Structure 1
Amino acid sequence: MIQKKICQNGVRIIHEKMPYVRSLAIGLFVKAGSIDETEKEWGLSHFIEHMLFKGTATRSAKMIAEQFDRIGGDINAYTSKEMTCYYATVLDHHAEEALTILADMFFNSSFNGADIQKEKSVILDEIASVEDTPDDDVDERLWSVMYPQHTIGRSIGGIKETIDSFDKEMIEKYISKHYTVENTVISIAGNYDDELIGFIENLFNSFIRKGSSDSIEATRPVFHNGRISKSKDIEQAHICIGYPGLTLTDDRLHDLILLDSIVGGTMSSRMFQKIREEKGLAYSVFSYYSSYMSTGSFVIYGGSGPEHLEEMVNTMDSIIRDIMADGVTEKELHNAKEQLKGSFLLGLESSESRMHRNGKNELILLEHKTIDEVVDLIDKVEMDNVNSIARETFARERAISVIAPKKAVKRIRF
């Protein structure tokens, strides 16, 4: 059962016992992501994520790594458009030591000037690695087309011009504004006793930083149709096609999730079976949905030989037209429901997956549906619901991003 403890200072602790495991997963979730950045701060959320691993007043970066290795634990972090998460998984009897290190990183990171300069180089290399990976690059460029006038359309990593400008003052100012009590959730899942909750409260009881009422996200993102292409000396052509999606709080979200499974989210989906298995036009073809508090998108990706690009896209369009005209079948909907329930339930087998689910739900949604409630929502989706969201989604104008060899880009007429 998921339990919630609100500390005296307002910090929320979400915890779920799994007494049959020997692990404990710990997450520090902060409601600060790329969507919260000003133009000059572009990439700063991600930069700070990196910097928290670079040492504190009492621990060097090497010491942090060695201490987690010594207790056989894993520590990592990620930044998304809406939040940043620092997390660790350890054996249950090492819980207090892991929490102490995470709290030290959270409160006492030194942001040494030399480390800041070195990390700029590391992050620029990370950005370059995305640009060297066209299936990632084509997706990031799609978001810049779909939401060109909003921070949600920006890449999380930032750009060289802003990264070069980051310094200790900017980092501490951003942390002061966004790393606040109301923006922070501590999530744990696994094998622990009730005394650990008190230990966490004592670690964070001096955390009193309050946020201001102003927000960078003053306007709702507006989806734009459009095209963007990039010529590159590569063997494959890559394309992403984006449509407006749904927000995290939309009652029809499970309709869209099941549509995604039928369109391109699984190996039995129409895109995979038609484009890869039947026609052999692509090795990788799939769809996915992304949902946030303020907007969402439905995206179709395909990577093919340049000579097959146009036929692949024509086939994608044909599949979409068929779904809009004739809808999905009972068999497809049944299989999609079973696949989604299986994926959801199997994904909760580990302490880490439960910790992430609970932390995100508390930080972003402020609610926790039970497993049975989620399964019931999936089972209650009817064919008319899925067909309705398909017609609504695919009837809208779309955004397209292409990365391909120069000759292929010149031939594109989408």
Structure 2
Amino acid sequence: MINKYICNNGVRIVHERMPHVRSLALGIWVEAGSSDEHPQEAGIAHFIEHMLFKGTAARSARTIAEEFDRLGGDINAFTSKEVTCIYTTVLGHHAPLALKILADMFFNSLFDDNEMSKEKSVILDEIASVEDTPDDDVDERLWQVMYPSHPIGKPVLGNEQTIETFDKEMIAAFMERLYTPDRLVISIAGDYDDSLIGLIEELFGTFKSENIQRQLADSKHPEFQSGVTMKTKDIEQAHICIGFPALTVKDARVHNLILLDSILGGAMSSRLFQEVREERGLAYSIYSYYSSYRTAGSFIIYGGSAPENAPELIDTIDRVIDSILESGITKSELHNAKEQLKGGFLLGLESSESRMHRNGKNELMLNEHKTIDGVVALIDAVDAMGIHELAKEILSGQRAISIIAPEKAINQMDF
């Protein structure tokens, strides 16, 4: 059972006891990501996430790492377009100390100038690694086509020009604006007792926001833009991403979208995988996926092929899409997709870390928690007509295309 406790300052604690495990997963979730950045701050949410590991007044970066090693646990973090999360998984009896370390990192990080200089180099290397990985780079470039005038279309990592300007004052301004009690969720799942809730209240329930009327980055729903971006690169494959506008995270039809994804390209039995790879041998990698955020969503198809096969790959993708738009989906496809989705959902809840992530994200993004049986019922309630109607809404309109390929392949394409 998922329980919720609200501290006096508005910090939310969501907790789920799992009596059959000995682990405890604990995450600090902040509603702050790259889509909340002003143009001059591009990449700062991700930079702050890195810097939280670089030392406090009481602990050096090495000490933080060594303490978690001694606890036999692990610590990690991520930044997305809308969320920053720092989390750990430890044995239940080590939870109080792990929590205290995370709180020290969250509230007392030094943001030392020397450490910031070193970490800027690390992140610039990370950006370079994306550019060296065409299947990542082609996706980043697609988002910039789809949402060119909104921060949600910009890379989470930022860019060299902005990263070089980050200093303590910019970090403090961003955190004052967004690291506030109303945007903070502490999610725990696994082996714990009520004393841990009290310790969270003690550590996180007293800080206040000094900027209640803060001005956030553009929170309007961005307008999807169609278009094509092509990048010539001397590589062995052509990498292609096709993007469509999809659903926001709170849209009630999200399970229709998940099932559409599974049927079209999200599984080995999907139409794209079977037609592109198994029947025609056009690509080793072909799949679809969706992303849903507060203000925007996307449905994306990716394919990587030999350069000479790229035009046929695009034509085949279009024909597979047309087949769904014209005829809808079969009963067998719907049944198989539902069983796959339910299986993945239920099997994914067997670890404390997966439950912590689910509960933290649901609280922060949706402010609600459906029961497991409730989610299964929603999946079972989806019908073929609902998926067909959503497919026509999403896939029959405007689209954006991103391609990275050798020059010869680029010259063969005409959009």
Q: Same fold (TM over 0.5)?
A: yes
Number of the residue aligned with 2:129: 129
Q: Report % sequence identity.
A: 64
The separation in 2 between residues aligned to 1:301 and 1:187, in whole angstroms, is 33
Number of the residue aligned with 1:12: 12
Give the TM-score of the pair, scaled to structure 1: 0.99
The separation in 2 between residues aligned to 1:212 and 1:144, in whole angstroms, is 31
**SS in structure 2 opposite 1:243?**
strand
Q: Residues 294-305 of structure 1 correspond to what in structure 2 (within 5 A)?
A: 294-305=295-306
**Matched AA of 2:93:** H
Cα deviation, residue 211, structure 1: 4.2
**Matched AA of 1:227:** V
Number of the residue aligned with 1:390: 391
* Corresponding pairs, count: 414
The separation in 2 between residues aligned to 1:92 and 1:305, in whole angstroms, is 50
Q: Is the 8 A contact 1:73 1:88 kept in 2?
A: yes
Cα deviation, residue 218, structure 1: 4.0
The separation in 2 between residues aligned to 1:370 and 1:211, in whole angstroms, is 36
Number of the residue aligned with 1:182: 182
Number of the residue aligned with 2:381: 380
**Matched AA of 1:248:** V
Cα deviation, residue 206, structure 1: 3.0
Cα deviation, residue 72, structure 1: 0.7
Number of the residue aligned with 2:233: 232
**SS in structure 2 opposite 1:362?**
helix
**SS in structure 2 opposite 1:228?**
strand
1:140 correspondence with 2:140: yes
Output one character per residue of 1:281-307: Cα deviation in whole Å (capped at 9) or x when no partner: 111000001001111010000000001
Number of the residue aligned with 1:258: 259
Number of the residue aligned with 1:101: 101
Q: Is the 8 A contact 1:181 1:210 kept in 2?
A: no
Number of the residue aligned with 1:37: 37
Q: Is the 8 A contact 1:40 1:162 kept in 2?
A: yes
Number of the residue aligned with 1:271: 272
The separation in 2 between residues aligned to 1:327 and 1:146, in whole angstroms, is 26
Output one character per residue of 1:62-97: Cα deviation in whole Å (capped at 9) or x when no partner: 000000011111101000111100000001111011
1:90 correspondence with 2:56: no
Number of the residue aligned with 1:243: 244
**Matched AA of 1:78:** F
The separation in 1 between residues aligned to 2:383 and 2:248, in whole angstroms, is 20
**SS in structure 1 opposite 2:5?**
strand
The separation in 2 between residues aligned to 1:373 and 1:304, in whole angstroms, is 41
Number of the residue aligned with 2:347: 346
The separation in 2 between residues aligned to 1:397 and 1:217, in whole angstroms, is 23
Cα deviation, residue 32, structure 1: 0.5
Cα deviation, residue 248, structure 1: 1.0
**Matched AA of 2:264:** V
Residue segments in structure 1 that go unaligned for 5+ positions in a row? none
Residue segments in structure 2 that go unaligned for 5+ positions in a row? none
Cα deviation, residue 349, structure 1: 0.7
**SS in structure 2 opposite 1:293?**
coil
Cα deviation, residue 29, structure 1: 0.3
Number of the residue aligned with 1:69: 69
| Structure 1 residue ranges (4+ consecutive) displaced by more than 2 angstroms after TM superposition | 209-215
**Matched AA of 1:103:** A
Output one character per residue of 1:110-134: Cα deviation in whole Å (capped at 9) or x when no partner: 0000001111000000000001000
